[in-house]
Amino acid sequence: MKTAYLILENGISFKGYIFGAEKETIGEIVFTTAMTGYLETLTDPSYYGQIVVQTFPLIGNYGVIPEDFESEKISLFGYIVKYPCHTPSNFRSIENLDTLLKKRGITGLCGIDTRMLTRIIRNSGVLNGKITCTEPVEKDRLEAAAYIIKNPVENVSGISASKTQNNEKVRHESKPLEIALLDFGSKGGIMDALNRRNCRVICFPSTVNAAGIMKIKPSGIILSNGPGDPSDPGNEGIINTIRVLDNMGIPIFGICLGHQLLALARGLKTKKMKFGHRGSNQPVKDISSGRVYITSQNHGYSVAYDSGMEQLNKDSIKESFVNVNDGTNEGLDYGSSFSVQFHPEAQGGPLDTSFLFDIFLDRVQNYCSIIEEGQDAPG
């Protein structure tokens, strides 16, 4: 295998081997602690602009299974593992990880000390890095340090819709509910979860305005996951659209980035985390019941909800979930609408919180009943 290097913006470098596409790449270095679900990680649009490090050492042992993809495209900029498996064993697999990355033009790096790299990120916070096939020099470090993720939502909005837009999984024992999905880089699992619950999902790009969505008269609205900083100036139009929809009283369910954007539309703030939450073993506590759920997460920002905010908005905004490890906000309830920071649709697992889709649809049904009776929608 050909020698390759990772150079971090702080000057620390690692020597390893290239796999996948043999080309240079620059991105924000983040790590995920998931032991399985690497196919869902690779095809999650939320990783746009990032180089993902798998903390579990052996990746690729069950091969490549397109049916498990979250989108048709790989959006991350690079992939780092300790040992990539070149001889997977699974009756559903069509090829190995190396072949997939080569086909998709994604650079992979293996053979480095991923444990040490993870510890550096945990201690220093998220760092930019560059993978190169030549021994790194100061120019490489400077290029990594200067890197900024540009237009992340714009670059991934709509790429997962082609996988599930046909809505073939809708059951027809009753009239399907019409749900609008605002796609900021949605994972296919969100649409699948709604299809299984007898919903017809209509996808809208991130550039749509409220009038465009209301043309279909949706019964409810999903705000999807996606990449980047929620408070990025490029998201101002999205936030304004969400604010208009929210004021109409239509039930809204925000997931991950959707959770953050809904909070911003409601006047709350977001903040960048030191190294974020990425993996399938994040514990969150339901404040109302005290029950703890294990969740799948992928985010580097959180909603800055605190006791002062609670007092200010105690009649309209309730904190519903918190992270057990660090106390950061994991969910907010606004009445007819609510949102969570984690992924209840997690195709790679766990599915502990999939019931949140049922809660959303209960609120949708209640909204539809109010509209049919000619009453004003709750706002």
Q: Output the pLDDT for position 311.
A: 52
Catalytic site includes residue 133 = no
- Coil vs helix vs strand at 273: strand
Dihedrals φ, ψ of 241, to 5°? -60, -45
Q: Give the HSE-up count for residue 236: Cα atoms under 13 Å, Cβ half-sphere.
A: 2
84 and 110 Cβ atoms separated by less than 8 Å: yes
pTM of the entire structure?
0.93
Q: pLDDT, tens digit, for every residue of 233-284?
A: 999 999 999 999 999 999 999 999 999 999 999 999 999 999 999 999 999 9
Catalytic site includes residue 172 = no
Residue with structure tokens 């905010």?
Answer: 309
Domains and CATH numbers, the chain: 3-148 (3.50.30.20), 154-372 (3.40.50.880)
Catalytic residue among 259, 277, 299, 343: 343
Q: pLDDT, tens digit, for every residue of 32-69?
A: 999 999 999 999 999 999 999 999 999 999 999 999 99
Cα distances from 11 to residues 14, 120, 128, 145, 170, in angstroms, run 10, 12, 11, 10, 52
Q: pLDDT, tens digit, for every residue of 316-338?
A: 899 999 999 999 999 999 999 99
Dihedrals φ, ψ of 261, to 5°? -70, -35
Question: b/e per residue, 6-25, with b = 16+ CB within 10 A?
Answer: bbbbeeebbebbbbbbeeeb
Average pLDDT over residues 299-309: 82
Q: Give the HSE-up count for residue 182: Cα atoms under 13 Å, Cβ half-sphere.
A: 33
Confidence of residue 306 (pLDDT cuts 50, 70, 90): confident
Confidence of residue 305 (pLDDT cuts 50, 70, 90): confident
Catalytic residue among 28, 40, 256, 319: 256
Residue with structure tokens 């596409």?
Answer: 21
Instruction: Give CA–CA dist 40/36, Å, rounded.
Output: 9
pLDDT at 12 over 50: yes
pLDDT at 315 over 70: no
pLDDT, mean over the chain = 93
Q: Output the pLDDT for position 136.
A: 96
Catalytic site includes residue 343 = yes
Q: pLDDT, tens digit, for every residue of 73-106?
A: 999 999 999 999 999 999 999 999 999 999 999 9
Secondary structure element (H or E) that encloses residue 140, with its range: helix 138-145
Confidence of residue 167 (pLDDT cuts 50, 70, 90): very low
Catalytic residue among 9, 28, 70, 345: 345
Confidence of residue 365 (pLDDT cuts 50, 70, 90): very high
DSSP 47: G
Confidence of residue 367 (pLDDT cuts 50, 70, 90): very high
Three-state DSSP string of 293-351: EEEEEEEEEEECCCHHHHHHCCCCCEEEEEECCCCCEEEEECCCCEEECCECCCCCCCC
